[in-house]
Protein backbone atom coordinates (compact mmCIF):
# COMPACT_ATOMS: atom_id res chain seq x y z
CA UNK A 1 0.00 0.00 0.00
CA UNK A 2 2.86 2.38 0.80
CA UNK A 3 4.35 1.71 -2.61
CA UNK A 4 1.13 2.73 -4.36
CA UNK A 5 0.90 5.94 -2.34
CA UNK A 6 4.44 6.84 -3.38
CA UNK A 7 3.46 6.71 -7.06
CA UNK A 8 0.29 8.74 -6.61
CA UNK A 9 1.39 11.45 -4.22
CA UNK A 10 0.80 14.86 -5.82
CA UNK A 11 3.76 16.99 -6.80
CA UNK A 12 3.73 20.74 -7.17
CA UNK A 13 5.67 23.51 -8.89
CA UNK A 14 5.52 27.17 -7.83
CA UNK A 15 5.85 29.89 -10.47
CA UNK A 16 6.13 33.65 -9.92
CA UNK A 17 6.08 36.44 -12.46
CA UNK A 18 7.08 40.06 -12.20
CA UNK A 19 6.19 43.03 -14.37
CA UNK A 20 3.60 45.73 -14.94
CA UNK A 21 0.29 44.52 -16.29
CA UNK A 22 1.17 40.80 -16.24
CA UNK A 23 -1.83 38.63 -15.41
CA UNK A 24 -2.66 34.98 -15.82
CA UNK A 25 -6.11 33.43 -16.23
CA UNK A 26 -7.51 29.92 -16.14
CA UNK A 27 -10.84 28.51 -17.27
CA UNK A 28 -12.73 25.42 -16.13
CA UNK A 29 -10.78 23.08 -18.43
CA UNK A 30 -7.37 24.18 -17.02
CA UNK A 31 -6.52 26.18 -20.12
CA UNK A 32 -3.95 28.71 -18.93
CA UNK A 33 -4.13 32.10 -20.63
CA UNK A 34 -1.41 34.54 -19.61
CA UNK A 35 -1.65 38.18 -20.56
CA UNK A 36 1.95 39.35 -20.76
CA UNK A 37 1.61 42.50 -22.85
CA UNK A 38 1.11 40.84 -26.23
CA UNK A 39 -1.61 41.98 -28.65
CA UNK A 40 -3.04 38.47 -28.99
CA UNK A 41 -3.89 35.76 -26.47
CA UNK A 42 -1.56 32.83 -25.91
CA UNK A 43 -3.08 29.55 -24.72
CA UNK A 44 -1.42 26.70 -22.87
CA UNK A 45 -3.44 23.50 -22.58
CA UNK A 46 -2.65 21.41 -19.51
CA UNK A 47 -4.68 18.23 -19.41
CA UNK A 48 -2.98 16.38 -16.56
CA UNK A 49 -2.20 19.25 -14.19
CA UNK A 50 -4.32 21.65 -12.17
CA UNK A 51 -3.52 25.26 -11.34
CA UNK A 52 -4.10 27.11 -8.07
CA UNK A 53 -3.62 30.87 -7.73
CA UNK A 54 -1.84 32.09 -4.61
CA UNK A 55 -1.88 35.77 -5.56
CA UNK A 56 -1.94 37.89 -8.69
CA UNK A 57 1.70 37.12 -9.38
CA UNK A 58 2.22 33.56 -8.16
CA UNK A 59 0.63 30.22 -9.03
CA UNK A 60 1.09 26.60 -8.01
CA UNK A 61 0.80 23.79 -10.54
CA UNK A 62 -0.27 20.39 -9.15
CA UNK A 63 0.09 17.04 -10.84
CA UNK A 64 0.96 13.39 -10.36
CA UNK A 65 3.79 13.13 -12.87
CA UNK A 66 6.90 15.27 -12.80
CA UNK A 67 7.14 15.34 -16.60
CA UNK A 68 3.71 17.00 -16.91
CA UNK A 69 4.59 19.58 -14.27
CA UNK A 70 7.86 20.53 -15.91
CA UNK A 71 6.30 20.69 -19.37
CA UNK A 72 3.53 23.02 -18.18
CA UNK A 73 5.95 25.17 -16.18
CA UNK A 74 8.38 25.53 -19.05
CA UNK A 75 5.50 26.36 -21.39
CA UNK A 76 4.50 29.29 -19.18
CA UNK A 77 8.12 30.34 -18.77
CA UNK A 78 8.73 30.34 -22.55
CA UNK A 79 5.82 32.72 -23.11
CA UNK A 80 7.61 35.50 -21.24
CA UNK A 81 11.29 34.78 -20.50
CA UNK A 82 13.16 36.86 -17.95
CA UNK A 83 14.60 40.14 -19.20
CA UNK A 84 18.26 40.28 -18.12
CA UNK A 85 18.25 44.08 -17.76
CA UNK A 86 14.99 44.67 -15.86
CA UNK A 87 14.40 41.28 -14.21
CA UNK A 88 10.79 41.14 -15.39
CA UNK A 89 9.26 37.93 -16.65
CA UNK A 90 8.26 34.47 -15.47
CA UNK A 91 10.51 32.54 -13.11
CA UNK A 92 10.30 29.46 -10.96
CA UNK A 93 10.19 29.94 -7.23
CA UNK A 94 13.63 30.20 -5.58
CA UNK A 95 15.32 30.75 -8.94
CA UNK A 96 18.22 33.19 -8.72
CA UNK A 97 18.14 36.01 -11.28
CA UNK A 98 21.31 37.92 -12.11
CA UNK A 99 20.71 41.32 -13.66
CA UNK A 100 23.06 42.58 -16.33
CA UNK A 101 24.62 46.02 -15.96
CA UNK A 102 23.39 48.47 -18.58
CA UNK A 103 25.55 50.73 -20.73
CA UNK A 104 24.70 53.98 -18.95
CA UNK A 105 25.28 52.71 -15.41
CA UNK A 106 28.62 51.12 -16.31
CA UNK A 107 30.15 54.50 -17.20
CA UNK A 108 29.19 56.26 -13.96
The reply to whether 12 falls in a domain is yes
**Between residues 23 and 42, the one the model is more confident about:** 42
Q: How far apart are CA 49 and CA 38, in angstroms?
A: 25
Q: Is the dihedral of CA 66, 70, 72, 73 positive or negative?
A: positive
Q: How far apart are CA 77 and CA 59, in angstroms?
A: 12
The reply to whether 40 falls in a domain is yes
> pLDDT per residue over 25-63, tens digit each?
788 777 888 777 777 888 888 888 888 888 878 889 999
Residue 4 pLDDT class (50, 70, 90 cuts) = low
Mean pLDDT (the chain, rounded): 82
The reply to whether 41 falls in a domain is yes
Q: Domain containing 18: what range?
A: 2-95
Three-class DSSP category at 18:
strand
Number of domains into which the chain is organized: 1
Q: How far apart are CA 38 and CA 5, in angstroms?
A: 42
Residues in the chain: 108
The reply to whether 39 falls in a domain is yes
The reply to whether 102 falls in a domain is no
The reply to whether 107 falls in a domain is no
Total-model pTM: 0.75
Q: How far apart are CA 27 and CA 101, in angstroms?
A: 40
The CATH number of the domain where 47 resides is what? 3.90.930.12
Q: What is the pLDDT of residue 1?
A: 64
Amino acid sequence: MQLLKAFYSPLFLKIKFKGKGYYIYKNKRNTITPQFGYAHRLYLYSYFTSVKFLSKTSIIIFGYQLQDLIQTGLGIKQMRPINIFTGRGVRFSRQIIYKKVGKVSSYR
